[in-house]
Every structure is written in C-alpha cells, then in structure tokens.
Chain A
C-alpha cells in the first residue's frame, strides 16, 4: 500500500537520532514558550529560524513544527493552573480548566488536557497522512461570505460561553467588539480610535487584554478574598484522573478532534476558532450545561482536543499546496526556500523524505509531549501550592517580560494594567470576561469579511444567501439565538418575580 510505504519513508527519516533530537528540542522549547505568556510560537520561530538554515531541511522543519504544536500544550498548562492564557487558543481552557484546579482537580485537568491533545494529535496526523490532497481543497471553500457567516456563528456561540446573566454576556461581547475596532481599517487604511498614537495603529495587543482580564484580575481577586482559596492539597489520588472523569472526557475529546480537524484547515486562526466552537458544542450537547464555567470536564476536554487537532491540520495546505494558512506556515515555507526547495504540490514527489518525515515526526512529537508533560504534573500542581506572596510576584514579572518582548516596548504593560482595572470592575459586577475576548478577536474579522463581501457584491446583501455554506451557518446562528433567548427571557422574568417577592 502506498500509504504504508510512504509512512515507512517518513518514520525512517523521523526516527534517526539526529531528527529525534531536534523534535525533542522543538517540543521542549514549544512547551516552554507556550507557558510564557506574550512570547508566542510565531515570534520564537522567527527568532530561531536562522539556526535551522545550517540544518538539514527536514530537521529544521521538524523542530519548527515541534515548537508550534508544543506551544499548544504549554499554553493549556498555565491556563489551567494560574488562569493565564498563554495563547489565544487557550482562552477557553481557562474557563473550566482553572475551575477544576481550584477544586483540587488540577492534576486531573492537566492529564485530561495532555491525553486529549495526544488523541487529537494522533487522529489529525493520520488524517494528514491519508487525506492531505483532498482536505487541502477545504481551505478554498471559504471566501469572505463564508467567513462572515462563520464569525456570526462564532459570536452567537460566544454568548453561550458566559454563564449567568444573558444580558451581561451580550454586553461583554459588544464591549469586545468596540475594543476590537481600534486600529487601521483594512479597507481604507483609515485610523480609528487611535487618538493620534502610532502604537495603536495595529489595534490593542491581544496578549495585554487577555493578561489583564484573566491572569492579573485573578491575582487581584485572590488577594482580596484570600479566604476563598479552594485549592486542596494534592495527594497522589488527586493527581490521577478518576474513571468517571475519564468517561466524561471521552466523547468531548472525539467531538473536539472532529471540529478541530475541520476548522484547522481554514486559513487564519483555525485552531483558535475551533477551541471556541468546541466549547459551544459541548455546552449545547451537555446534559448539565449549568456545570460549564464551574469546572465541567467536557468544557476542558473538547476545546483542548480541538485546538491541538486544528494546529495539526493547519499544516495540510502548506504541505500539499505550498500555501501558508498562518504566519508559522509562512515561516516554514521560508525555511524550505532557504534550502532551494520550492514549496508547492511537487515537494511530496521530489522530496518525499521531507513531506513524510515531517508527518511522522508530528506523531512522535505528540507522544514526546505526553511523556514530557505527564510526569511533570505533580510538579506543576505543587506550583499552585506555593504561597501567594511568592507566586504572584513571579507571575507578574514573567508576564511583564512577556508583554515587553512583544514589540520591545512598554506600552502593552500599561494596557495590561488598564485592563486589570477593567477586569476587576467586571469581576465585581459578576460579568464574564471570556465573551469580551471573543468579541475582541472575532469582531474585527467579522467586519472585515462583511465589508469585503459587500465590496464584491457592490453592496448587494443577497450575496449572503447565494452560498449554501453561508446559509447553513447563518441559519444555525439564528436557531441558536432562539434557543438561547426563549428560556432566558422566561428565566429572567422568573428571577425578577422572585426578587420582587
């Protein structure tokens, strides 16, 4: 069979001691930078790229790929332990993962994240090996119209992210949308809400918003209400996943893998959107949606699997067509070009050891990550046992270094400080920050694609119901609105009546 011969070529390349070493270095560096907020895989790979010029092309690519998916693992560790989303795709892991940690299930949460990611990585790698050429075409099904419909669906689902008041959820999404408007408008290049400051022309830095609203706000609220600290001391039993937890995680992981594998194919932020989508799906299908946000296992397992699967399948357009779907893939193409290998559909034929070697290394790298992360869980869990007066200054310093490293200037640190104040205000008002972040990320994308669609159709709105994909997604969004709104209105009334009584 072709696939087996090809995988054989791949594993022969990937299992050489040389390449195993670089795979290990890649996943190790990836895990580390995933934990460090601010320093993302894109910046790290850009910095390390010149090092790979001296290596064999396949070793260089294996290392870069390792950094990329290793960062997805590392990002969830800090999200779970200290409510600090290192990457935009781990925002969702904060919601239920951190709640689990607070209830003394940090070990289980980390194990679920690691094993779920490993499962997703394995399935996605098999998909790449077997169906790459077919799947690559999916990336081209999505144009401005379809992207707009997807963003509408995403934002509708965002209101599901919030537990508690529906009105507050909507208000937070809208606040996020407004904050996302800051910066240069894509169509005309006009600056909006920059107040003449050049540091705002590219918009407000995502990492600063996420740190301020999540990690720093968490620190402040913990200091304020010290007595509410619920972290139980980790015994050996607490580190392990119980059989019940395992069962609860199985189906969300499978669903998350499917969602992530599909959305990861889309250019631009597929992995990130897939974790949001998976969370929304899990909350919908769950028999106990009220547990979400309180440490629901499905709310952690699904998105973790989804973002890892998405990170893997985003390689497909790059590998099969030589077309980068995000910045990291563009860097990998750059690395190939330095070695005089022209990226494109012919790499598979002309350099099979590179193509299949990289695919085989992904599976090996994922296995390495589990081996690397599982034994470290007791260590990580002990980290949150450290006294606040030691832990918090360390988190603050690491975060500030991370913020500074984004652009080598201090502006993001001030922004993080400002968003901490805002975050504390939200915390006092019992308003959830996650929908704000989603509005902040998706809002500008939605506007961009909406206006681009209308430019294409010359202002004719009917363009949105000429595409079947768009119609399907918009209808789901509308149905979702009804499903959410009806009981919410009823419940809202009931609460109001109870208060009167």
Chain B
C-alpha cells in the first residue's frame, strides 16, 4: 500500500524533473514538485532528527512537500553518489555531515567529485562529547591523559567506523596528547555507545544528545568535549582547556547536485534563514546543544573547502591512505 504511494510520489518527481529540464529557466517557479531530500544514513540517526527540525517548515515555505529518503552506506558515499547523478534543478537535495569533507581523502575512486557539488547552506555545527565508562578512575581531561600515559595502550575507544568524524577526533586527540587510546570500530554510533555502557570499551566520542541518556542512567560520565567554549547546562569544559588549540566540530550541510543554479540556492537559503531565526527552532537546537547557522551559499562553499583542507591535513598527519 505504502509502496504504491511511494512509487506514485517517485513518478511525480520524475515527471516534474523532466518537465523542469525542458523549461530551462523555470527557477522562478521552483520548486515545481515534491522535493526529494537524501539522507545518506540509516533512519533514526542524528541527521534524521536534525533534518526534521527544518524540512517540514521549508516545505511549507516553498509550497511543496519535502520527502526524505534514507540511503545509508559507506560513510555517506552511497547517498552522495545518488545526489551527484540527480538533475541540477533543486528537486533533489541532501543533508550530510562533515564526513563529506573527509571522504575524498579516505576513499579512492569516488564516483563523484566533491568539489563540484553545490553546497546550499551550512545548517548546524556541534562538538563531540567525550564520554567514558563511569567506573574509570579519572574525572577530567588531565587525569585521563595521565592515566593513558601511565598505562599505554590499555584504554580503548568505540568509533562508528572508518572515516567517521568520531574516529578522526579520537586520532587527533591521540596525536595531540601523545597517548594511545586504541580504536575499536563498530557499525555506527549506536553500537559503540552500547559497548561503552556495557563496559567492553572505555571511551567514546559522540553527539551530546546521544550520550545524555547514558549519563543520566549512570553508565557513563562526560567531562570534556571537542568545542572551544563550555557546552550546555552542564558547562562541559572543552578539551582545549587542557590541550590548547584542540578543536573538532561536526557539522550538517544542505547540498545540491553539481551545476545547480544560484537562483535556486538563493531561494532555499531565504527559507532556511527564516526558519533558523524562529525562536522555537532555536530552542529545540539549543536543548540538544547544537548551534544553528543557516549560512549563505558562498559561505557554505568557503566553509566546505576550508573543512576539506583541514580534513586533508588531519588525515595526512594520521597517515591514513585512500583505499
């Protein structure tokens, strides 16, 4: 029943896409049909939740529904490949994390050129919270570093797999602090968090909202995060207090296919700016310790290329090779 519904929605999208490409200068009428929003992660993740904050409202502003489609796999590569193939008419968009800036340096033979994608807006940024098993004998960053130095290679960290931001931030911490917390890859952030809660690994880097329930149930404690200023109600101190200059932010961006014209990205940006200045949206993001940004397309492009060069240098210093 729902399959049929979805097939119909897809058919409508396809028809409107071809119609749009025939009438080339149709940007004033944009959007001409339902907008497909690719989410390159499994349903139920943090990106879904963040997209829910703006997608319905943006759909109302544009006068067309926004239909989310989850295409998980290979650190967002599979979803990005789908986006890169789509027509540049703004009818297909994608919400993606900072992983997109890492992938060119982690994967050989990507089926798309990341530089050619059109960033519409940087939506949000947020730091990673460092959470540790509650029965470990340290309560601040300095104690953790001292412990790791006294017991080299004993501490383990759960990470969501190759190329994820949470893996890179761990490697960065190891390198800057001169310690060796061993990386144990899991399938996604959820599994790595469960493993820490069960006491099978020791520490984990994850978003604030994913860690909070574990801390409330007493299975984990957090005392540091990868931002630059104290975070949230708990005033979690930044790692930079202990290791000056340490910073690693994750971010979410709205991306359009290569060659999407400016008047379309402008129209999207207008809507996003209006949404992110609403008090309700601000409150909701603030409760999850996420900072809403809604940048312009130029800012987004500059941000992406800056992030790409940062990623390249981090991945380079970590000695990872594209495979």
A interface residues (Cβ-Cβ under 8 A, vs B): 29, 32-33, 36, 38-39, 42-50, 53, 139-145, 184, 186-191, 196, 198, 201-202, 267-268, 321-324, 327-331, 333-334, 337-338, 340, 342-346, 401-402, 404-405, 407-408, 448, 452, 455-456, 458
Contacts and interface: CB of A to CB of B under 8 A. Distances in A.
B111 interface: yes
B185 A401 contact: no
A46 B78 contact: no
B52 A189 contact: no
A47 B197 CA distance: 31
A141 B200 CA distance: 9
Contacts of A201: 73-74, 77-78
A32 B4 CA distance: 12
Contacts of A344: 212-213, 216-217
Contacts of B71: 407
B93 to A, nearest CB: 16
Name the residue among B44, B68, B185, B209 with the largest chain A CB count within 10 angstroms.
Answer: B44
B78 A198 contact: yes
A328 B48 CA distance: 13
A334 B6 contact: no
Contacts of A44: 2
Interface stretch (B188-196, B254-262, B269-277, B301-309): B188-196
Contact of B200 (A29, A324, A456, A458): A456
Given A140-B198, A144-B200, A323-B213, A331 B43 contact: yes
5 contacts: A44-B2, A49-B52, A139-B194, A198-B77, A202-B72
Nearest to A133: B217
B222 to A, nearest CB: 14
Given A50-B68, A346-B216, A186 B187 contact: yes
Given A53-B56, A189-B162, A337 B198 contact: no
Given A39-B2, A47-B6, A323-B193, 7 more contacts: A46-B43, A49-B52, A144-B200, A191-B323, A202-B72, A334-B49, A337-B49
Contact of A202 (B2, B78, B156, B195): B78
B200 A330 contact: no
The 4 closest A-B CB pairs, nearest first, are A330-B44, A189-B162, A143-B200, A322-B213
B114 to A, nearest CB: 15
Given A142-B198, A323-B214, A345-B213, A405 B3 contact: yes
A144 B195 contact: yes
Contact of A267 (B49, B156, B191): B191
B221 interface: no
Contact of B6 (A329, A340, A405, A456): A405
Of B52, B213, B214, B323, the most chain A CB neighbours within 10 A belong to B213
Contacts of A198: 74, 77-78, 81, 111
A323 B44 contact: no
A190 B2 CA distance: 36
B56 A330 contact: no
A182 B75 CA distance: 17
A142 B198 CA distance: 7
Given A140-B198, A455-B184, A39 B3 contact: yes
B88 interface: no
A393 to B, nearest CB: 17
A49 B69 CA distance: 12
Nearest to B43: A46
Contacts of A338: 49, 52
A144 B71 CA distance: 27
Contacts of A39: 2-3
Contacts of B81: 198
A337 B323 contact: no
A7 B21 CA distance: 58
Nearest to B39: A46
B92 to A, nearest CB: 12
Contacts of B199: 140, 143
Contacts of B176: none
B193 to A, nearest CB: 7
Most chain A beta carbons < 10 A, residue from B42, B56, B194 = B194
B171 interface: no
